Structure 1
Amino acid sequence: MSYQVTDTYDGIDKAMRLMRGSMKGMPERQRYMRHYDELRRSVAVLLVLLEEAGPWLEETREAEKATSRAKQLFNATR
């Protein structure tokens, strides 16, 4: 199951790299930088939560620790 999380993580990472490259060539990009920065922060939180979901899905001893860290991160974004 965790391989699906890894694939999702890799796909999101690739999409963000493509977006960063497209932002570099965009005229008047300063108009969109605030939105881009907010998206980047949100995606970073999502990626951390995905990393924390891996052990939980594998049902290892680390699952409880990963779940509590994920809850703390999620609550910090509210």
Structure 2
Amino acid sequence: MSYRISDTYDGVDQAMRLLRRSMKGMPERYRYMKHYDELRRAVAVLLILLEESTPWMEETEKAKRATTLAKKMFAAAR
């Protein structure tokens, strides 16, 4: 599951870099800078939350595998 989070993280990071490059070449970009700054802050929060959730998702996936294995072993013992 964590590989999906890292892929999402990388995709968002790449999109923000592309947006920053496109903003540099934009005429009258000062009109959009407020929106751009708000978006940057929101995306930064999102990326931090994604980064923090990665270990939790790994633990959850391990717990699911352990539960599945335990159910199979219990069914085999009957």
Segments ≥4 residues shifted beyond 4 Å: none
**Partners of 2:5 and 2:53 in 1: how far apart?**
8
Greater helix proportion: 2
Q: SS of the counterpart of 1:57?
A: helix
TM alignment of 1:53-72, pairs within 5 A = 53-59=53-59
TM alignment of 1:10-49, pairs within 5 A = 10-49=10-49
**Partners of 2:59 and 2:12 in 1: how far apart?**
24
Kindly provide the amino acid, as one letter, of the partner of residue 2 in structure 1: S
Kindly report the root-mean-square deviation, in angstroms, between the aligned alpha carbons of the 2 structures: 1.0
Kindly provide the amino acid, as one letter, of the partner of residue 26 in structure 1: M
Measured after TM superposition, the shift of residue 33 of structure 1 is 0.1
Measured after TM superposition, the shift of residue 52 of structure 1 is 0.6
Give ranges in structure 2 of 5+ residues lacking alignment: 61-78
Indicate the structure (1 or 2) with the bigger Cα radius of gyration.
2
| TM norm structure 2 | 0.75
Measured after TM superposition, the shift of residue 23 of structure 1 is 0.1
Kindly provide the amino acid, as one letter, of the partner of residue 47 in structure 1: L
Taking only the aligned residue pairs, the percentage that are identical comes to 77
Kindly provide the amino acid, as one letter, of the partner of residue 54 in structure 1: T
Aligned pair count reads 60
